[in-house]
Amino acid sequence: MRILALDTATPVTTVALLDTGGAIYEAADTPPAGSRGHHAQAALILAAGVLADAGLAWAELDLVGVGVGPGGYTGLRIGLATARGIARSSAAALEGVGTLRALAEPLAGQTALALIDARRGELFTAAYLDDVEVLRPQVIAPDMLAGLLAPGAVAVGDGALAHRPALERAGHRVPPDGSPLHAVSAAAICRIAAAGGGGEPLALYLRRPDAERSLDGQPR
């Protein structure tokens, strides 16, 4: 099965292709610190690039996988729209994979605590042991980290880097800064989808967008 996957839930745009022989071609666009990303410009360019690297045409895709969040509202909408467009134009199936699940996927055999910066002083988090969800996706304040999960997990993601001291005091291990474990990988979405772990391509926002909160007079 030929699977193209993409994720735009974080500022990084990540795209990967899994071909029938098991080879993975991956590319990413990492914006400057503080940027919300260049998803609209980067997603299709990166997808075309990995297809070219694999020597495949759009019409040869069997499945398109897309990260469904949680993450940035605008980024998720761009990713889902791009994935739907690719799937329709190539007559491929379309499946969604949780972004936190993809972040945890490389840590097979270990309890993975995935943490993504949700802005507004909050974190998106979930925890997994292989394919088992041991902590459902949710939004938390950083001061909840100490009692979130029993000690011994591996904490990954930009949220883990930002709150390393609190996580380590709680008995969790945080891989070194610069470790690829802290970045969402579209290759992980390919592997999850290939193993039958994909689902409906519906965004998991977990909270309302900034525009709606502003209309209600709530802080952004």
* Residues shown for the chain: 220
Tell me, what CATH number does 56's domain have?
3.30.420.40
Is 124 in the same domain as 75? no
Is 16 in the same domain as 62? yes
The reply to whether 164 falls in a domain is yes
> Angle at Cα 132 formed by Cα 126 and Cα 135, nearest 5°?
25
The total number of structural domains that make up the chain: 2
Q: Are 79 and 66 in contact (CB under 8 A)?
A: yes
CA distance 128 to 110: 8
- pLDDT at site 208: 66
Residue indicated by tokens 């990084």: 12
pLDDT mean by block of 10 residues, the chain; 220 residues:
97 97 97 87 97 98 98 96 98 98 97 96 96 95 94 98 97 97 98 97 84 48
Domain of 64 in residue numbering reads as 3-100+185-215
In angstroms, the Cα distances linking 115 to 53, 135, 137, 145 are: 32, 12, 10, 10
Q: Which two tokens stand for residue 109?
A: 């055999």
Is 51 in the same domain as 95? yes
Closest CA to 5 of 55, 77, 68: 68
Q: Which two tokens stand for residue 202?
A: 């519906």
The reply to whether 120 falls in a domain is yes
Is 92 in the same domain as 15? yes
Q: Are 184 and 103 in contact (CB under 8 A)?
A: yes
Is 118 in the same domain as 95? no
Is 8 in the same domain as 93? yes
Is 93 in the same domain as 121? no
CA distance 156 to 134: 15
Instruction: Indicate the pTM of the whole model.
Output: 0.93
pLDDT digits (tens, 9 = 90+) for 13-50: 999 999 999 999 999 999 888 788 899 999 999 999 99
